[in-house]
Amino acid sequence: MAHRAACLQISENTSVPGVAAAIATLARQYGDLALVLLPEGLRLGEKLTWAGPEMTALADAAKAHDIYLAGALDLIDDDGQPARAGFVLTPEGTIGLRTAKLMPDLLRSGYEGGGKTDFPALDTPFGTVGMLIGEDILSHEYLRGVIYSGAEIVLNPAWERGDDRSEARRNSRLARAYENISYLLCATPPSSIVSGACAASVIFDYRGKVLADAGSGETAISATIDIAAARSRRSEGKMNFPAQLRTKLYEPEYRRMAALPKGKDADPTARANAFIAAMENAGTWTAPSAKPIKPYDALIVQAHITTVSDVSHREDVVQMNLKRSLAVAGKFAMAPNVKLVVFPEYWLTGAAFGKSVDDFWPNVGIRMDGREIATLKEFAAKSGTYVAGAIFEYDPDWPRRWFNTAFILDPRGNVILKYRKLQCGDINGLLNNTTPGNIYSAYVQRYGYDALFPVVDTEIGKLASCICYDNNFPELWRAFAMRGAEVIAYPTGEPHNAGRRGWATAKNAHAAENGFYIASANTGCEAASPDAPTTYFHRGFSRLIDYSGRIVAEVDTAGEVPLVARIDIEALRRARHDPAHNLLAHLDYKAAADIYAKHDGMPLDWNLSAPVETAAEGIKVVMETIERFKRDGIYKAA
């Protein structure tokens, strides 16, 4: 049986009878109506209480039309204090779910934040429902709490305004649906000059695709919820982000942040300013004008890759890839204002599948002390630039293992950063590489926990790097921001596929949510072997994204392209210094740490004792995690 969910985009001043009339109209239009979501903060009366006449009338409407009715109101809590509370009323007229808003109102004055919740979820005939109110949806940590409580449909009653971050907030909502394989419904008031509200009601499916989108006026949008399809997708191992997330790897990072001093002032702006000051005093963030950096250009190289398919032609192919990519960079890298050059993922060797950890990768993998890196060091010194890229690395210190490794060279040719990819093709049945999470105990013992999230302070800002599939795990991006990163060099190898919109939009969302630039260098075309034709499996579309999530410049095609775009670190620092634009300053880090402590995702150390022999081993572990999720009620059987 089909079930329809609707978002009512109605005025904040709509009366209780007006709400009931709108619901009745929807029920007449749709015989399969099962859920109605109201906007955040409707003014239904003064000093609303859970047992008051207004809530009773809403419960009667839910009961009359045999629907679930959800929203968020300013209600007097059990302690007699006003609080922003979310609710789901059942068709029986009872309160099925009750939650609180954690973040303060950032878009208007009103709620000061600080609510507490255990992220409840409610089972319904059309799926398990959870809720985040307003700006809470912008913090992926809170949604993990809802998802790990079993939610498949996320409700986001909200209030929106039209400003320079509107698109970023919409991108965050899409990213939350995509990253968690969940439906997401957002209901807001309509646009109003008087109140300053801007309509933003939308329904996303579990792939992050728009099912329904509202205009500016009073209206309703609806979509059919196909929970069987969502559950089927969650039963697949490939790109199953919640099941692939190593929660215990990130918990210590949130614990570290929770120990920082945070203002106790009732005013959320004062609390945020205290946090920002603590981060600046610790040297993690830099205050505007404290160490001025002039705007400069980044060169993003969209390269062609020929894959090393056999050891016999390794030297010829790697040197060809290197020379060809340096030729694309060419004169652009020599321009005086270009300070950073970023190459794609695995651009020297290509990605060869099904190869041996004994015979192939020790002979094909790039070594950090090898010939190719030496050439790149010379290029960095000659051009006077910081040079970043990602390689399939063989490190003799880890016999029979290989890593997907990002590096940054300084203008003197020194290796100043090395990051080994935390989420890779090994968990999608594609590659037999090793990631630090899979040998976590040994890796941290050898290099320290900080080596998982390296950030380096340079003359052009604080730099970090992550790689391709890392994009789908917002916890990693957050870790870099918490460590002060301002520019992320992001080598990637993104293909054309059905998930590309969610992937790309999530990347923009990560930039805005964390307040940094992302220099994304993708492969533009490829050949599967030296004798193979050029194909365009990789989609290109390399881009520079700024700290507000906007695209500064983008290659709007595939092929080999040098893209030059401007980075303004001082503008970034001004935005990060502003509590209205700094989400990290409002996050409850203890609550976040508790979420990751409470729930076990993909296990650490699963191939600590022996290297991965075949790519199928990784996805087997993911499938085991999915089955555990089903036993624990996080996922439901398809």
Whether 215 and 305 share a structural domain? no
For the stretch 418-456, pLDDT in tens is 999 999 988 999 999 999 999 999 999 999 999 999 999
Q: Is residue 177 part of a domain?
A: yes
Whether 48 and 181 share a structural domain? yes
Give CA separation, 45 vs 9, 54, 75, 82, in Å. 19, 7, 10, 13
Whether 326 and 451 share a structural domain? yes
Q: Is residue 202 part of a domain?
A: yes
Do the beta carbons of residue 321 and residue 347 sit within 8 Å? yes
For the stretch 7-18, pLDDT in tens is 999 999 999 999
Q: 293 or 78: whose pLDDT is higher?
A: 293
Q: Is residue 90 part of a domain?
A: yes
Percentage of residues in the chain with pLDDT exceeding 90?
A: 90
Whether 226 and 300 share a structural domain? no
Does 112 have pLDDT greater than 90?
no
Helix (H, G, I), strand (E, B) or coil at 241: helix
Task: Give residue 322's pLDDT.
Answer: 99
Task: Give residue 235's pLDDT.
Answer: 98
For the stretch 492-542, pLDDT in tens is 999 988 889 999 999 999 999 999 999 999 999 999 999 999 999 998 999
Q: 265 or 158: whose pLDDT is higher?
A: 158
At 466, the amino acid letter reads C
Does 254 have pLDDT greater than 80?
yes
For the stretch 370-384, pLDDT in tens is 999 999 999 999 999
Listed residues 567, 585, 617: the one ending a domain: 567
C-alpha 529/C-alpha 354 separation (Å) is 14
Number of domains comprising the chain: 2
Out of 103-112, 206-215, 272-281, 460-469, which region has the weakest mean confidence (pLDDT)?
103-112
> Alpha helices of 399-542 — where are they, by DSSP H?
440-447, 474-482, 500-514
Q: CA-based Rg of the chain, rounded to a whole angstrom?
A: 25
**Of 537, 566, 533, 602, which is closest to residue 337 (Cα–Cα)?**
566
Return the CATH number at 447: 3.60.110.10
**Of 471, 518, 466, 478, which is closest to residue 139 (Cα–Cα)?**
478
Task: Give residue 596's pLDDT.
Answer: 98
Q: Is residue 85 part of a domain?
A: yes
| Range(s) of the domain holding residue 529 | 294-567
Q: Is residue 520 part of a domain?
A: yes
Does 108 have pLDDT greater than 90?
no
Does 624 have pLDDT greater than 80?
yes
Whether 346 and 458 share a structural domain? yes
Residue 150 pLDDT grade (very low, low, confident, very high; cuts 50, 70, 90):
very high
Mean pLDDT of 284-290: 94
Task: Give residue 1's pLDDT.
Answer: 61
Does 78 have pLDDT greater than 80?
no
Mean pLDDT of 200-220: 96
Listed residues 537, 567, 597: the one ending a domain: 567
At 521, the amino acid letter reads A
Q: Is residue 485 part of a domain?
A: yes
Q: Is residue 166 part of a domain?
A: yes
The model's pTM is: 0.97
C-alpha 24/C-alpha 400 separation (Å) is 66
For the stretch 541-567, pLDDT in tens is 999 999 999 999 999 999 999 999 999
Whether 99 and 202 share a structural domain? yes
Whether 466 and 367 share a structural domain? yes
Task: Give residue 82's pLDDT.
Answer: 81
- The shares of helix, strand and coil residues in the chain, as percent rounded to the nearest 5, are 35, 25, 40
Does 199 have pLDDT greater than 70?
yes
Whether 342 and 463 share a structural domain? yes
For the stretch 522-533, pLDDT in tens is 999 999 999 999
Mean pLDDT of 469-485: 98
Task: Give residue 499's pLDDT.
Answer: 85
Task: Give residue 498's pLDDT.
Answer: 83
Do the beta carbons of residue 596 and residue 248 sit within 8 Å? yes
Question: Which residue is listed with tokens 């959800």?
Answer: 70
Q: Is residue 270 part of a domain?
A: no
Question: What's the mean per-residue pLDDT of the chain?
Answer: 96
Mean pLDDT of 80-92: 93
Mean pLDDT of 110-130: 91
> Alpha helices of 291-433 — where are they, by DSSP H?
314-333, 361-364, 371-383
Task: Give residue 267's pLDDT.
Answer: 87
DSSP letters spanning 574-604: HHHH-TTT-GGGG--HHHHHHHHHHS--SPS
Task: Give residue 80's pLDDT.
Answer: 81
Task: Give residue 428's pLDDT.
Answer: 92
Q: What sign does the dihedral 485-489-493-497 (CA atoms) show?
A: positive
